Amino acid sequence: MRATMSVLMIAVLLAPLAGCGGKPNKTPESATRAYLSYMKAGKWLEAALLWDYDAQGRAGNSDWDTFSTSQRKLIVKESKWAEEKAKSLEMWSTHFSGDTKIETVEVNGDEAHAVLDGRVTGLDLIKVGDEWLISEMN
């Protein structure tokens, strides 16, 4: 019983990092829509959880790609990278007005670029496993 509760608690804690709850980022379009929705609603942490942190992990640890996905997500969580990103995203709040829209999404293999009609003109996305995550905002 105790082991089951521990596994359940870990799953609940890691669910937001895994993109659970309907997985809003199964396609580049859905990831972009979810990101815009979170940014417009002022949900900075939720928006930050749609970012790819692998480049940051690789920069700090040359063995990053040898870690399992769950280990990498735990490192991101424990290092509070999403919380730091959320603080920086809050400063971008004025760039995401209610009329910011997706014009096109161009997919090239495991990379995509969403062209936006707004002060932020585009998002670069990357496919990580079965999820699409934001890698750059311009």
Residue 131 pLDDT > 60, yes or no? Answer: yes
Quick check: is 6 in a domain? no
> What distance in Å separates the CA atoms of residue 33 and residue 40, rounded to the nearest whole number?
11
Q: What is the pLDDT of residue 24?
A: 73
Contacts of 70 (CB under 8 A, 6+ apart): 14
Q: Within a domain: residue 5?
A: no
Query: Comparing 129 with 47, which gets the higher pLDDT?
Result: 47
Categorize the per-residue pLDDT at 41 as very low, low, confident or very high, splitting at 50, 70 and 90: very high
pLDDT at residue 27 in the model: 96
On whether the pTM is more than 0.85, the answer is no
- DSSP letter for 51, please: B
**Residue 8 binned pLDDT confidence (cut-offs 50, 70, 90):** very low
The answer to the question of residue 130 being in a domain is yes
CA distance 101 to 104: 9
pLDDT score at 136: 95
CB 29 within 8 A of CB 83: no
Give the mean model confidence (pLDDT) for residues 113-133: 94
Compute the mean pLDDT over every residue in the chain, rounded to the nearest whole number.
84
Is the residue at 78 inside a domain? yes
- Residue 12 in domain: no
Question: Which residues span the domain enclosing 115?
Answer: 26-137
Provide mean pLDDT across the span 108-133: 95
Residue 10's pLDDT band, with cuts at 50, 70 and 90, is: very low
Q: What is the DSSP track for 104-118? A: EEEEETTEEEEEEES
In a domain, 45, yes or no: yes
Q: Is residue 7 part of a domain?
A: no
Q: What is the CATH number of the domain that holds 37?
A: 3.10.450.50
How confident is the model over 90-113, as pLDDT tens digits?
A: 999 888 877 889 999 999 999 999
Residue 87 reports pLDDT greater than 80: yes
The answer to whether the CB of 59 falls within 8 A of the CB of 135 is no
Domain count, the chain: 1
14 within domain boundaries? no
